[in-house]
Every structure is written in structure tokens, then in C-alpha cells.
Amino acid sequence: MQLYNTLSAEERAELIDQAGKQRLTLSFYAYAKIEDSKKFRDDIFVAWNALDALGRIYVAHEGINAQMNVPAENIEAFRETLEVYDFMKGIRLNVAVEQDDHAFLKLTIKVRHKIVADGLNDDTFDVTNKGVHLKAKEFNEILEDPNTIVVDFRNHYESEVGHFKGAITPDVETFRESLPIINEQLQDHKDDKNLVMYCTGGIRCEKASAYFKHQGFKNVFQLEGGIINYAKQIEEEGLESKFIGKNFVFDNRLGERITDDIVSQCHQCGKPCDNHTNCVNDGCHLLFIQCDDCKAAMENCCSTECQETIHLPWEEQVKLRKGKQVGNKVFRKGKSESLKFKHSGELSDTALATAPTRGGAERSGAKSANIRQKIKVKKTLVGKAEHYYVKAQVGLFTIENQELNLGDKILISGPTTGDQELVLEKMIVNDTENTLAKKGDRVTFAVPFRVRLSDKLYKILD
């Protein structure tokens, strides 16, 4: 019985491209009492893996939190796997505003202590005693009430690119930080104000609404289904959007546009921009906002130090990041002294610019070319990267499949390198210049960009 992934992100992306079938990006959550969370985790992994469902899912004794990408043709079968459990019967699936077949490239289901870390150790706290759920129209109406206080229960890097007008946007990096801060700020308004809260998909503000009811607040409300569901409802019902900007999402897209307002700046040059990126330096992975010009000039790096680091020999880079924690903490690292135009805390409701549209289709701004975009060229896997000689700008590859010929058009692809095309004009095969490389050969040739060990070598087919 397979309980874990066996394919890399690149291999999964390749299979998705070859299948050429529509996939739906969605999210859902449910608070419930799950007695054996480990068994529950294994059972849903087997069921969802069989349906080619991918995503990031957290399971705990208090419930489930899932962000997923499912083949459209399997969506009803996927619903059936949820209906097996009483607490997920009739559950709402928040379908993303913008779709991306590569939103997730692995099925990762982790068992945690809680599905939303809250820092609370109170046995009397009942997470199911939640506030009143409001649909988009009701939410818009209550925002007009002068006795309403609206609070954003997301983190600073999420609210910076988009938020509801007039909302309190705490300068926090985690949900658990926001609870005591807001509780202290609003102590004098437990009885006379409407406490209205929102988050991305509803899971955080549902726990927050229960927490503030537990703290004695009388009029507690939350946006049903979060910003994702709000965006869907305002479009279907023709309502005014009280939300401005982009909704940050925790998948490879890093955001989906709700309105054309750009309310944030490139953290490096100050130009209006709301596209998040992760620093390409594997010893950093800082999450920050970067415009296309700075992305090109800084080579996807957050600082000159990181830019210098990525050009060091791979062995030196490994030594420099020894002992540092990156990767899973990438979304928490949204602040740095090297970012001159970073804003958090009290944010403006005034747009700095309007996002460009691309023929009325792509509204989320420029996307960097990487493995997460759908690769439209026909190609076949030839080999993998073994080393990159920085000073000489030469890549070393092992041929594992097919043959490589002089004059072939090739594609070097990886999660950091992206998709880079070249024409093979000269190559050294097993230390001798040659026009043909076969399976098992080691090949070197000039590559005018950084190659990494995770990169794959493809031959582009006519």
C-alpha cells in the first residue's frame, strides 16, 4: 500500500502536461473530533492518490485543513471519498478564482497537533462554538455599519497585497500572534461592537470567532468561506468588492487577483507590484514582493549577498547554509532589512496602480517561467544535471535515455532554474569533442545560466 509520494515535482509536472486534462484547484476544512488521526491520514492518502489528487493537507484530532488540485474528471469521485466521513458530508469546496494545473505537484498529508496552530492550552475552549457566518452580500452590508470592527486574521505578507477596506491588519507572522493582540485592542468593545473577521478560506477566522466568543465578545461574525468564496459570490451576484487587490494563496501561484488594484510595492525598488517570489538562494528562500525588472536585475534574489551566493560553487553554497532552516518556513520569512519598501501593520486602502490585463484572460500579473507553468513544448527526457562550473559557465550532464545530437534543441528544466531552451552547438562527450552522445555518456556543454542538481535535460521534439 503506497502511503507516500514516489515522483519528484518535475516528474509529476511532466505527467500532468502529457495528460493534458483540466485540473481544479480547491480548498476545504472541517473542525471535528478525529480519534485516530494517523489512520485517517493513511486512509485518505490511499483514496486520493488513486484519483491523482495532489495538495498540501494537515490532519489533527481537531479536524482537517486541505488545499488541493484535483483532475476535473475525478471531482465527483473525490467528493465521494469525503462523504464517507460524517463530518465532511456536504462540505463546501472553495474552488480557486484562477486555475493552474501545476498549483500542487505532490500529495502531502501531515499529521499535526492542530490544523491551525493557536498557542492555546485551555481545555474549556470549544472550537465548534463559532461566530455567525456571513455570505458576501451580508458581509458587505455589515461593513457599512459604523459599529462594525473588521479584522484580517491573516499574516502581514498576505494582507499587504490585498485586504478589505478599513480592516485592522495585524503586523504578525503567525495566526497565534494575532489572537492576544486583537483581544487586547478590543477589550473595551465586547458588548457594543460587531466583531467581524475574515481570512483566506475561513479556517483561521472560524477558530478566531470561537476564541473571541470564549473571551466574552457578544457579536461575533465571520466571512463564510473566506476571501476565496467571497470573490466567487461577488462575481456571481454582481456585488461590489469591498476587498481590494490580491488574495495570497499557499500554493505555487502565491496569489489570485480579486480586483485590478495594486496596493503594494516592489520591496526592492518601490514600483507598484503585488507579485510574491521566493529568493532563489537555497540558503535564504525569503518570501518578498519583486517586480519583473528587479527579478531580472537581481536574478530572483532578495539581496546582493544572496545574488553573490548563487554564483559560488555548489559545494560552497552547501557549506554556507549548513545549520540554517529554510524550505518549510518559507512563508514565514517575509521581513528583512534588505527590503526597503516592505509595509505591514496599518495598510492603505488606496490603489497605487492598476494591474494590466492580457486579452481579458490573465489578470494576476507576470508569471516567472518555471516548472509550475504548463510546459507546452513537446519534449523527451534525456538526462540529468551533475554539476555546473560557474567560471567556465559549463554544465555537466549524464545521459540516461535517448540520444543527444549536435544541433538538437534542448530544454533544461528545474524548480529553481525554470524552463531554459538552448541549441546544442558544441559538446564534449566523455572528455572528447563529439557530435553524438548515448545512454551512459557524460556530456559537458556551455550553459549561460546557473544549472542545479535537481535540473532535468530534455530534447525538444519537432
Query: For position 84, which CATH number holds?
Result: 3.30.70.100
Active site residues: 199
The predicted pLDDT at position 332 comes to 47
Among 341, 253, 331, 251, smallest CA distance to 287 is for 331
Does the pLDDT value for residue 363 go beyond 70? no
Domain that holds residue 31: 9-111
CB-based contact 343:160 (threshold 8 Å): yes
| Domain end point (choices 93, 111, 129) | 111
- The C-alpha cell 468593545 sits at 189
Q: Render pLDDT for 74-129 as a digit per residue (tens, 0 to 9).
A: 999 999 999 999 999 989 898 887 777 888 899 999 999 888 888 777 777 888 78
Q: Tell whether 302 is covered by a domain.
A: no
| Rounded distance between C-alpha atoms, residue 222 and residue 205, angstroms | 6
Q: Tell whether 24 is covered by a domain.
A: yes
Give me the CATH number covering residue 445. 2.40.30.10
Among 132, 115, 107, 262, smallest CA distance to 197 is for 132
CB-based contact 273:280 (threshold 8 Å): no
Q: Render pLDDT for 317-355 as a digit per residue (tens, 0 to 9).
A: 888 877 665 544 444 455 677 788 887 777 888 889 998
Q: Tell whether 361 is covered by a domain.
A: no
Interhelix angle for 37-49 vs 75-83, to 10°? 160
- The C-alpha cell 559560488 sits at 312
Q: Tell whether 46 is covered by a domain.
A: yes
| Domain end point (choices 111, 131, 154) | 111
| Domain end point (choices 70, 90, 111) | 111
- The C-alpha cell 477566522 sits at 205
Q: Tell whether 74 is covered by a domain.
A: yes
CB burial of residue 319 (10 Å; 0-12, 13-18, 19+): exposed
Q: How high is the mean pLDDT of the chain?
A: 86
Q: Tell whether 287 is covered by a domain.
A: no
H or E element in which residue 212 lies:
helix 203-214
State the pLDDT confidence band at 413, using cuts at 50, 70 and 90. confident
Give the start-end residues of each E strand in 182-319.
194-198, 220-223, 243-247, 256-257, 261-262, 276-278, 287-289
CB-based contact 372:287 (threshold 8 Å): no
CB-based contact 378:301 (threshold 8 Å): no
Q: In sequence order, what are the residues at sequence separation of 6 or more whose Cβ sits closer than 8 angstroms to the Cβ of residue 194?
A: 142, 145, 147, 148, 149, 219, 221
How many domains are there within the chain?
A: 2
Q: Tell whether 166 is covered by a domain.
A: no
H or E element in which residue 141 lies:
helix 136-143
The predicted pLDDT at position 333 comes to 52
Q: Tell whether 421 is covered by a domain.
A: yes
The predicted pLDDT at position 374 comes to 39
Measured from the Cβ of residue 206, the count of other Cβ atoms closer than 10 Å reads 27
CB-based contact 362:271 (threshold 8 Å): no
